[in-house]
Amino acid sequence: MLGDSAFQTVFEINNSGDHRLLLMPVAGMFATLIGSIILIIRRKRKMAFTKGIYLPWILVITGLFCVTLSFVLWNKANDLFDIYTKGRYEIIEGRVQVLRKQHFHGHSPGDLIKINDSQFVIDYFTIGPEYKKTISRGGALRDGVFARIYHYKGDILRIDLKKDDDENVRPTEKKQNELY
């Protein structure tokens, strides 16, 4: 099924990761460092330990939280890539039915799509290597396209679209084809 020439792969999970995963530990370490420096300076100057102490502690705790969360997300990314490379995913194939769309700027739940009896939520604002390109951002899983989805517990690892299906042509390409 992986080498099927009737389908074109438009998304495949990779281990290069999400650039936002790199920002979290850096920001977390920076916040922890700044908060720790403020606490050390206050202690050396014997400043009142109760007055204005909240900001440095908030920085330290938030920084440690960001670093910890980034390791959890890295583990999830590595697990998903491992699942994909070892073939421990499920495959579903059929026409996409869009039940809900996420707005371009968020502030709403992700796209909700349905293929056969399976539903998937695609949220652009999640952090991780899984598919997250919503319809409002030019995503491939639009209403009516014939897709083959490789997934694991709701996380989309790969998307193949049927090549000769007219519904799989992007709307701008349809307009250009109609002009000629």
Q: What is the pLDDT of residues 60-73, one digit of tens each?
A: 888 888 888 888 88
Q: What are phi and psi of 94, to 5 degrees?
A: 160, -175
Which one, of 8, 21, 159, lies nearest residue 89 by Cα? 159
Please tell me the distance from the alpha carbon of residue 115 to that of residue 38, in angstroms, as a whole number: 54
Helix, coil or strand: residue 162: strand
List, for residues 120-170, the tens digit of each pLDDT value. 999 888 877 888 888 888 888 998 999 999 999 989 999 999 887 655 555
Please tell me the distance from the alpha carbon of residue 159 to that of residue 141, in angstroms, as a whole number: 9
Please tell me the distance from the alpha carbon of residue 57 to that of residue 29, in angstroms, as a whole number: 14
| pTM (predicted TM-score) | 0.72
List, for residues 26-68, the tens digit of each pLDDT value. 788 888 888 888 777 777 776 655 566 677 778 888 888 888 8
Provide the residue ranges of all domains of the chain, joining segments of one domain with +.
7-14+89-165, 19-85
